[in-house]
Structure 1
Amino acid sequence: MVTGSIEKAQRKVEGRNFDVRKQLLEYDNVASDQRKVIYQQRNDILEAEDVSEIITAIRNDVIGDVVTQYIPAQSFPEQWDLPGLEQAFETDFGLQVPISEWVKQDVNLMDDAIRERAQQIAADFYGKKCEGSEQIMRQVEKQIMLQVLDNLWKDHLASMDHLRQGINLRAYAQKDPKQEFKRESFELFRMLLDNIKAEVVRVLFHVRIASREEIEEMEEQRRREQENLQLQHAQSSALQGEESAVDNAPQKAATTPFVRSNEKVGRNDPCPCGSGKKYKQCHGSLA
C-alpha cells in the first residue's frame, strides 16, 4: 500500500514536471519564430549593397503613421490635431510642414492628400541631406539600421522575459496563460517592428555628414588639444618634482644626529657650577 502511494505521488510529480517543460517549450517556440523574422531582416540588410529603397519605404510608412496618429482615418476636420502634428514633425524629424496653411487654403483637403504632401516634403528634405555624400549615406544607412535593430531586439528580449515571469497570473482571471502569452508577445513584436522603423527614420533625419573642411578643422583642434595636454602634463611633472625636492630638504635636516659640544655630566658627578654638590642635587634637579 505504501509502495502504491509512492508510485502515484511520483507519477504526479513527473507529470507536473513534464507539463512545465512543455509549457516552456511552447514559450520558446514563440520567441524562436520572432527571432527568425528579425535575423532574416538583419541578413537582408547585410547582404544588400544599397538599402535606399528600404529606407524610402520605411520613411513613407513612418510619415504616414504620424499623420494617421493626429488625423484619424475617416474623421472630421474638427477632430484633427494639426498643431500637434506640425510639432511632431519638427521634433521627431526636424521638418517644417505647414499643414495648417494647407487646410486654410483648401478646406476640402483630405487626410490622404496631407499624407502625400508630408511624404514628399520628407523625401525632398532627405534628398538634400544626401547631396554630395550619397556613397557615405548608403553606408551610414546600413550601420544605423543594424544598430537600431540590434538594440531594440535586445530590449524586446528583456520584455519577453518579464512577460514570461508573470504570465501565469492570468490564470487567476480564468484565462489560458499560453494563449495570453502568444497574444501579448505578438503585440510586443508588432510594436518592436514599428519602433525599429520610427527610430531608423528619426536617426537618419537628425544625422549630419561633416564636410572635408569640417573634418580637417576637427583634426586640427584635436591635435592642438593633444599638444596642450602634453604641455600641461610636462608642467605638472616639473612642479611635482620641485615640491618633492622642497619637502625632502627639511626631512634631511631633521634626520641629522645631535652632537654635544661638552661631555655629558652624570647625575652623581660634582656639579660644574663649583658648589661642591652632586649634579642631581644642584642644577640637575632643575632639569
Structure 2
Amino acid sequence: QRKVIFEQRIELMADEAVNETVADMRHDVVDDVVSRCIPEKAYAEEWDTAKLKDEVQRVFGLDLPVEDWAHEEGIADAEIRERLLKAVNEKAARKAAQFGPDITRQIEKAVLLQTLDGLWREHLVTLDHLRQVIGFRGYAQRDPLNEYKTEAFTLFEALLARLREHVTGQLMHVELQMQPPELPEADLEHLEAQHINPMTGENEMAGDVALMERPAAAQQIDPARPETWGKVPRNSPCPCGSGKKYKHCHGRYA
C-alpha cells in the first residue's frame, strides 16, 4: 500500500497536468454514487432516487431532476449514469473555462496532492489501530497475519474511494473570488517626505529637500509672521528667507 501511494504521488508531482486523472475520478465517482442508490439488477421501484438526488447535490453541487428521470418509461440505470456524467463533465468544463487552463491545472494538482496526503495520514493511524485489534484476535485461534492483510486491503480500497470522492467534490464546489486589494485611504495632509533620525529626533532628508508641513489650506505663509509657518522640518530652509536652515535660524528659539 505504501509503495502504491508513494509511486502515485511521485507521478503526480512529476506531471504538469493531472486533468486525465481527475476526469477518471469523476467518472468513477458517478458510478459509485449511482451504485449506492440504484443496486445492480434492481427494479425501478427499488431505486432510492431521493437519496440519489441528495448525493448528486452533496458531491457534485448539481440540482438535477433524477426523480423525474426514474419515472420515464423504459429508463435504465445506465441511462441515468450517462446523463449524470454528462452534467458533471459539463460543469467541470464550465469551471475550467472560467478559471483558465493555468489556474485550473494548479487547482487540480493542489487539491489532489493535499487530499492524498491528508487521507494517507488518516489511513496510517487506522492501520496502527487495526494491528492492535488483530493482535487480540490471535488469542481466538485466528491467523493474525491473514486477518490483517484482508482487512488492510479492504481499508485501502475504501481509502481510494474516499480519495476519488473528496477530490471530485472539492473541484466541483471550488470557487475563485477575484477581488482587488483594499488600499488604505491616503491622508494627503500628513504625507510628508521625511525621515526621522532615531538618535536626534531630527528630519534627515538628503540635502534640503524635506517638505514643510502644510499649514491650513486657507492660511498663507508670511515670511514675517512665524505663526503662519506651521511645523517646519529643522533641516529645511527657514521660511523667513534668510537662506539658513531653520534649525540655525528661527528654529534655534523654537
TM > 0.5 fold call: yes
Task: Say yes or no: does 1:153 pair with 2:117.
Answer: no
Map residues 1-287 of structure 1 onto 2, 5 A cutoff.
34-104=1-71, 106-132=72-98, 133-210=100-177, 214-216=178-180, 219-220=181-182, 223-224=183-184
1:255 corresponds to: none
CA shift, 1:139, in A, is: 0.8
User: Mind listing any 5+ residue stretches in structure 2 that lack a counterpart?
Assistant: 188-254
Specify the alignment match of 2:238 in structure 1. Answer: none
1:230-282 deviations in whole A, cap 9, x for unaligned? xxxxxxxxxxxxxxxxxxxxxxxxxxxxxxxxxxxxxxxxxxxxxxxxxxxxx
Distance in 1 (CA, whole Å) between partners of 2:184 and 2:40 is: 57
The CA distance in 2 between the partners of 1:165 and 1:101, in whole Å, is 49
User: Partner of 1:89: helix, strand, or coil?
Assistant: helix
Range with bigger deviation, 61-70 or 169-178 = 169-178
Deviation at 1:39, TM superposition (A): 0.6
Question: For 1:173 and 1:111, how far apart are their aligned partners in 2?
Answer: 44
Higher normalized helix content (fraction of residues): 1
Alpha carbons of structure 1 residues 215 and 168: separation in structure 2 relative to 1, 3 Å: same
Q: CA RMSD in A?
A: 1.6
CA distance in 1 between partners of 2:136 and 2:175 (Å) = 48
Q: Using CA pairs below 8 Å that are at least 6 residues apart, which structure has the higher relative contact order? A: 1
Give 1:99 deviation, angstroms: 1.1
Q: CA deviation at 1:107?
A: 1.7
Matched letter for residue 209 of structure 1: L
Structure 2 Cα separation of the partners of residues 46 and 73 of structure 1:
37
**Percent identity between the two aligned chains:** 39
Q: Tell me if structure 1 keeps the 8 A contact 2:44–2:70.
A: no
CA separation in 2, counterparts of 1:103 and 1:148? 34
TM-fit CA distance, 1:87: 0.9
CA-CA distance at 1:224 after TM superposition? 4.4
**Which residue matches 1:275?**
none
Kept after mapping to 1: 8 A contact 2:59/2:168: no
> Whole-Å Cα distance in 1 between the matches of residues 171 and 87 of structure 2?
15
Of 106-115 and 125-134, more deviation after overlay is shown by: 125-134
- CA 1:44–1:107 in 2, change beyond 3 Å: closer, same or farther? same
Q: 1:175 deviation in Å?
A: 1.3
The structural deviation recorded for 1:172 is: 3.6
CA distance in structure 1 between the aligned counterparts of 2:140 and 2:27, rounded to whole angstroms: 41
- In 1, the alpha carbon distance for the partners of 2:155 and 2:184 equals 50
Aligned equivalents of 1:166, 1:123: Cα separation in 2: 42
Q: What do the CA deviations read for 1:62-120 (whole angstroms, capped 9, x no partner)?
A: 0111001000111011110001100111122211221111223x221111110111000
- State the secondary structure of the residue aligned to 1:72: coil
Structure 2: distance between partners of 1:103 and 1:190? 30
Any gaps of 5 or more consecutive residues in structure 1? 1-33, 228-287
Residue 87 of structure 2 aligns to which amino acid in structure 1? I
- Classify 1:167/1:224 alpha carbon distance in 2 versus 1 (closer, same or farther; 3 Å): farther
Q: Tell which structure's C-alpha radius of gyration is larger.
A: 1
Deviation at 1:51, TM superposition (A): 1.0
Q: Per-residue deviation at 1:35?
A: 0.7
